Structure 1
Amino acid sequence: MSSKIIQALPELIENNIISDEIAQNIKTYYAKNEVAGTSRLFTIFGILGATLIGLGIILIMAHNWDNFSRLTKVFLAFLPMIIGQIALGFSIYKNKSKTWKETSIVFLFFGVGACISLVSQIYNVSGDLESFLLVWIVLCVPLLYLTKSTSAIVLHLIFITYYAFEAGYGRTTTIPHLYFLLLLFPLPSYIKMIKDNVKSPAVNILHWLFPLSVIISLPVCIDRSEGVGFLMYILLFGILYNIGQLPFFKNKSLLKNGYRFLGSLGTIIVLMSLSFRSLWRHEFNNVHFDSLEFYCAVILFIIAGFTLYFSDKLKEGKSVNLFQYVFLIFSIIFMFGLFDDVLPTVLVNILLFTLGIMAIKIGTDSLSFGILNYGMLIITILIACRFFDTDLSFPVRGLLFILIGAGFFTANYIMLKKQKTKIKN
């Protein structure tokens, strides 16, 4: 796209649309962007190269491992970590480029993991994958603070999520509380990146990794009351959505705002599953108020309240977005569900239908085809779900689908006309 614009500059100057000075400023702007893009690409390939070199060293050592003495094995076990430390120290001391630092950190991170596993194998140290991951992660925590490295944060988030999955899934006696402590360590660097408005694809990836890590790891807190798990997820998605509504994220596209996307989609998925009466009948009859998950739900409710307050206080305009208040509404529905299964089912269906209408309204007001069709899709899926627990005849079902299809076409056609009118005006 930039090359086409630069090629069109002489014609624009000739027709007196822009001046020579403006044309030169445009060329300078795109030249800077091309340099930044090349630097980012070089960083990515540098990290990939460091990973491949590390794996290659490990494979070479593994091939000849049995022929080495114990002392040689220990030296080779520490060698990748030592090389990584020297490379990182050199890059910091000489203030090398970001590519140097990111590559060194990735190499050192995997060097630490290789060292731990090899030393354990040499001296026959017993242990499981859970303890191995925990030691590896804790030893690499200082990497989060040595440089402003996004690679260190990405690796940290991936491996603590893996640790939570390994330690907590399928177990009823072990809750990996350390996961939530480890999740706090990269937050200062991440928040600073947000405050400094760092524009980087790696930072955009972090906007997805942080919420995904918590979403994947939350089930480790569910022990006895699975019904409370639904409340926990609604509260978590409420937190994520309201974070996505903060001024920094508000005007970003969905690809750069994982909080709003995952918060909205997750809310709809959980509510859609709770639109069936059978879940209220079987999952909410054994709620324990003295359980770990209930205490977690209380903490999540408090955090959700704070995020709602700040997102509402800092937002521009007075328009009401129902998605921000879903966690409050569902908390009330949840209390009804402790005593009855019909009323909460009806209320959840009404809430879903209202959210669909709200999404259609937001899409129409902002002339966004994506949000408009998202709202239509919510209503369509809700109606389709009701086909499974109602006795409607096939002709009636067919007529409903025809009406829904016509609604999709009409809504998009009206939106298109409004968009064309706006462009003309």
Structure 2
Amino acid sequence: MISKLVKELPDLVTNDVISQEIASKIEQYYLSKQENTPNRLFAVFGVLGSLLVGLGIILILAHNWDNFARTTKTIFAFLPLVIGQCFVGFSILKKKSVAWKEASGTFLFFAIGSSIALVSQIYNIPGNLSTYVLTWIVLSLPLIYLLKSNAVAILNVIFITYYAVEVGYSYYTINETPWLYLALMALVVPHYYRLLKYHKVANITSIFNWLIPISFTIVLGTFVNDLSELGFLMYLLLFSLFYNIGKIPFFDDQKLRRNGFLIFGSLGIVIMVLTMSFDGFWDMERFFLNAQETYISTFLFIANLGILAYSYSKKWLKLFNLFQYLFILFSALYILGLNIPVVGTITVNLIVLALGITTIKIGADKFHFGVLNYGLLIITALVTCRFFDTNMSFVIRGLLFVFVGLGFFLTNYIMFKKQKLKVKSLKN
């Protein structure tokens, strides 16, 4: 981006847009900024190099492992750990570059895991996979803050998620809730907060904006034990929480692709309500108030309500957005719909239609073709779902698809014409 701007400067000077003096100052400013910026590509290749070196050492040792004595095996088990600690210590004491810290942190992260595994194998220490991963995570978490390493933070989030999956979804630990997942994720939050505060629009922050909601989405199912019917409400409340977080101006003012909370929350809400729009969904038994799922649902509901109330106090809620208030409606509907399935089915279908119209309006107001077509896709998905579970004739079904297709064409055409008129008026 900077190189493109610098290349455009001579053309701007030639056309008398800016003077030569201003062009020189702009060029010097961006060149100095580029020199002070760490080489991200070098950091990435440093991390990849550490991974490959670590894997290569493991493969070499594994090939000759049976030929070594126990003492030799123990030395080799701790050797990567010692080397990794030396590199990390060197990076900290000598105040090396970001690439050094990221590479040494990544190497030591995997050295910790390999050392634990090798020592356990050499001395036949009993244990299961979840305990092994938990020990690995606990020992590697301090590296995030010692090195301020984004790579180690990402690896920890991935492994924390895997630990929760192993505990909650494993056949051997069925119905066991991984409460430690919440505590471990809380230990990563300060690093994420630092990125949000000082590197708001950095690419690494955008990765965390996607990684964290994905992690919570994967793990939430492990908190559903006996009342699976409440699991759907829990997920809807979680996606609503993501959406409301994404609508906070701090995130909402950024480019849409950086706002993982908003995109993931919106897609999750739409998928959940489409699932609930089928007739057979509401034929479920009543759930109990005194249950783990009820407490979690209540917590998620209060969290949504808290963000909404805070947004209202800050006057961020300028326009009505059905997505933001949907959790209130569905929480009430969930209780009523379980008693009267017809009410639940009809209401949800109307809600999906309203969500589609709301999204189309948001896209039209912002002149955003992506959001506009997303709203049309929601309506198309609703029509498609009703295609499979209703007794309408094929003529009516065909007409519905024709009308939706025409809606796609006409809406985009009208939007395109308005955008051209707006550009034309700005030029004049």
Q: TM-score, normalised by structure 1?
A: 0.96
Shift of 1:36: 6.9
Tell me the residue number matched to 1:250.
Answer: 252
Show structure 1 runs of 4+ deviating over 6 A.
none
Tell me the residue number matched to 2:183.
Answer: 181
Tell me the residue number matched to 1:86.
Answer: 86
CA contact (8 A) 1:356 1:379 kept: yes
CA contact (8 A) 1:238 1:267 kept: yes
Q: Distance in 1 between matches of 2:398 and 2:65?
A: 68
Tell me the residue number matched to 1:190.
Answer: 192
CA contact (8 A) 2:380 2:404 kept: yes
Relative to structure 1, is the Cα distance of residues 72 and 190 closer, same or farther in structure 2, using a 3 angstrom cutoff? same
Q: Distance in 2 between matches of 1:202 and 1:66?
A: 42
Tell me the residue number matched to 1:166.
Answer: 166
Tell me the residue number matched to 2:43.
Answer: 43
Shift of 1:112: 0.3
Unaligned runs of 5+ in 1: none
Shift of 1:28: 3.3
CA contact (8 A) 1:13 1:19 kept: yes
Q: Distance in 2 between matches of 1:181 and 1:38?
A: 32
Relative to structure 1, is the Cα distance of residues 420 and 25 closer, same or farther in structure 2, using a 3 angstrom cutoff? farther
Tell me the residue number matched to 1:364.
Answer: 364
Tell me the residue number matched to 1:144.
Answer: 144
Does residue 112 (structure 1) correspond to residue 148 (structure 2)? The answer is: no
CA contact (8 A) 2:38 2:98 kept: no
CA contact (8 A) 1:224 1:288 kept: no
* Aligned-partner SS, 1:387: helix
Q: Distance in 2 between matches of 1:187 and 1:7?
A: 41
Aligned counterparts, 1:302-317, within 5 A: 302-314=302-314, 316=316
Does residue 280 (structure 1) correspond to residue 279 (structure 2)? The answer is: no
Q: Which moved more, 1:143-152 or 1:410-419?
A: 143-152
Deviations 1:259-308 (A, max 9, x none): 00000000000000000010111xx3141222211111111111111222
Tell me the residue number matched to 2:399.
Answer: 399
Relative to structure 1, is the Cα distance of residues 311 and 19 closer, same or farther in structure 2, using a 3 angstrom cutoff? same
Relative to structure 1, is the Cα distance of residues 385 and 143 closer, same or farther in structure 2, using a 3 angstrom cutoff? same
Shift of 1:351: 0.9
CA contact (8 A) 2:50 2:103 kept: yes
Aligned counterparts, 1:123-134, within 5 A: 123-134=123-134
Q: Which moved more, 1:142-151 or 1:320-329?
A: 142-151
CA contact (8 A) 1:175 1:221 kept: yes
CA contact (8 A) 2:227 2:287 kept: yes
Does residue 16 (structure 1) correspond to residue 16 (structure 2)? The answer is: yes
Tell me the residue number matched to 1:421.
Answer: 421
Q: TM-score, normalised by structure 2?
A: 0.95
Q: Distance in 2 between matches of 1:98 and 1:249?
A: 26
Aligned length: 423
Deviations 1:65-117 (A, max 9, x none): 11211111111101111111111111111111111111111101000000000
Q: Distance in 1 between matches of 2:413 and 2:312?
A: 33
CA contact (8 A) 1:285 1:338 kept: yes
Deviations 1:186-227 (A, max 9, x none): 111211221223442222101111110000000001011111
Tell me the residue number matched to 2:299.
Answer: 299
Letter aligned with residue 337 of structure 2: G
CA contact (8 A) 1:150 1:202 kept: yes
Unaligned runs of 5+ in 2: none
Tell me the residue number matched to 1:56.
Answer: 56
Q: Distance in 2 between matches of 1:412 and 1:228?
A: 39
CA contact (8 A) 2:77 2:115 kept: yes
Q: Distance in 2 between matches of 1:244 and 1:280?
A: 30
Q: Distance in 2 between matches of 1:3 and 1:140?
A: 39
Does residue 101 (structure 1) correspond to residue 101 (structure 2)? The answer is: yes
Percent identity of paired positions between Structure 1 and Structure 2: 48
Shift of 1:364: 0.4
Relative to structure 1, is the Cα distance of residues 122 and 21 closer, same or farther in structure 2, using a 3 angstrom cutoff? same
Letter aligned with residue 189 of structure 1: H
Tell me the residue number matched to 1:213.
Answer: 215
Q: Distance in 2 between matches of 1:175 and 1:289?
A: 19
* Aligned-partner SS, 2:389: coil
Tell me the residue number matched to 1:326.
Answer: 326
Deviations 1:387-416 (A, max 9, x none): 112111111111111111111000000000
Relative to structure 1, is the Cα distance of residues 26 and 314 closer, same or farther in structure 2, using a 3 angstrom cutoff? farther
CA contact (8 A) 2:77 2:118 kept: yes
Q: Say what the alpha-carbon RMSD is for the aligned residues.
A: 1.7
Shift of 1:34: 5.0
* Aligned-partner SS, 1:139: helix
Q: Distance in 2 between matches of 1:314 and 1:55?
A: 51
Deviations 1:135-174 (A, max 9, x none): 1111112112213221121011100111111110155331
Aligned counterparts, 1:261-272, within 5 A: 261-272=263-274
Tell me the residue number matched to 1:387.
Answer: 387
Does residue 223 (structure 1) correspond to residue 228 (structure 2)? The answer is: no
Letter aligned with residue 391 of structure 1: N
Shift of 1:311: 3.4
